[in-house]
């Protein structure tokens, strides 16, 4: 597990996100009290000091009760801020409602199923994410409709710009297209993937890029285009996530 990259992602995501008690579609600034409470989690050194002991304790407890000892473990770390309204019942503040200033910091452990093998089916549907660089739980809620409406035989939904046909990424994966080369012109096949400022770079994507660099496979940070696929310019394509490279 590339723990360093996951810690970087937590910190970078929190720096990009704004926590308010307003609707996600409402432009609002983050209250100073919230910013102060989240400050330790926007500092990489502090997050590492908090995450590592929590994971050690959590994994130890998990393996004590885990009945699937042969499977790898999926670990999810969540940092959130609660705006839960509480009622104070005291002589001084009878019935007064106030916002409970509390950061939620937790880890969840579950079995990680073996990745799928072979070909997968995808469909192109849905617009790109609003804040691509942040691994935001709001995106999990936003993508539910796409997950519920996709065909039962479809493994992943690719997000695209309907005006240009540019493909960004999957709901939970990065996307790559292999563009055909031209041996006669001395042009080799090239891997195309969306520019990083428009997508969330997964840890498996980094492994793919490492292999491309090692084997001298050219990589272009350009959007794969659906029209290019229809015109036969693609030699193939694949998605990558912690669950698969297909």
Closest CA to 241 of 197, 208, 214, 194: 208
What's the pLDDT at 92?
47
Strands 174-179 and 190-192: what pairing? antiparallel
Q: How confident is the model at residue 26 (pLDDT cuts 50, 70, 90)?
A: low
Q: How confident is the model at residue 94 (pLDDT cuts 50, 70, 90)?
A: very low
Alpha-carbon distances of 144 from 26, 83, 139, 157, 171, rounded to whole Å: 20, 23, 9, 11, 10
How many CB atoms sit inside 10 A of residue 50's CB?
18
Q: Tell me how far apart the alpha carbons of residues 218 and 42 are, in angstroms, rounded to a whole number.
A: 35
Same domain, 108 and 131: no
Question: Does 117 reside within a domain?
Answer: no
- Most confidently modeled range among 29-33, 64-68, 165-169, 180-184: 165-169
In a 3-state reduction of DSSP, which class is residue 113?
coil
- Tell me which of 112, 131, 158 is where a domain ends: 112
Report pTM: 0.69
Closest CA to 19 of 78, 77, 82: 82
Contact assessment for residue 224 and residue 177, using Cβ atoms and an 8 Å cutoff: yes
pLDDT per residue as tens digits for the range 120-161: 888 888 888 877 777 777 777 777 788 888 888 888 889 999
Same domain, 164 and 86: no
Residue range of the domain that includes 234: 122-245
- The conformation of residue 132, written as its DSSP 8-state character, comes to T
**Extended beta strands in 113-154, E state:** 122-124
- Tell me which of 68, 91, 112 is where a domain ends: 112
* Residue 128 neighbours by CB under 8 Å, 6+ apart: 159, 160, 161, 168, 169, 198
Closest CA to 170 of 108, 243, 80: 243
| pLDDT at residue 80 greater than cutoff 80 | yes
Looking at the 3D structure of the chain, how many domains does it have?
2
- Tell me which of 77, 112, 147 is where a domain ends: 112
């Amino acid at each position: 597990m590339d723990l360093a990259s996951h810690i970087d992602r937590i910190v970078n995501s929190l720096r990009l996100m704004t926590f308010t008690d307003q609707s996600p579609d409402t432009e609002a600034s983050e209250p100073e009290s919230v910013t102060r409470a989240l400050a330790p989690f926007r500092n990489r050194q502090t997050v590492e000091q908090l995450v590592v002991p929590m994971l050690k304790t959590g994994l130890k407890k998990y393996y004590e009760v885990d009945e699937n000892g042969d499977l790898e473990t999926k670990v999810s770390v969540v940092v959130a801020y609660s705006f839960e309204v509480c009622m104070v019942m005291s002589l001084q503040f009878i019935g007064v409602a106030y916002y409970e200033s509390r950061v939620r910091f937790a880890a969840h452990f579950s079995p990680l199923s073996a990745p799928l093998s072979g070909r997968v089916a995808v469909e192109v549907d849905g617009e790109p994410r609003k804040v691509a660089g942040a691994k935001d739980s709001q995106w999990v809620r936003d993508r539910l409709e796409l997950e519920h409406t996709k065909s039962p035989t479809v493994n992943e939904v690719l997000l695209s710009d309907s005006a240009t046909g540019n493909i960004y990424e999957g709901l939970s994966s990065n996307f790559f297209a292999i563009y055909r080369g031209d041996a006669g012109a001395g042009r080799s096949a090239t891997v195309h993937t969306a520019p990083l400022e428009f997508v969330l770079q997964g840890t498996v994507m980094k492994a793919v890029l490492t292999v491309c660099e090692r084997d001298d496979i050219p990589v272009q940070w350009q959007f794969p285009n659906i029209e290019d696929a229809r015109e036969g310019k693609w030699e193939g394509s694949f998605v990558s996530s912690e669950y698969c490279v297909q």
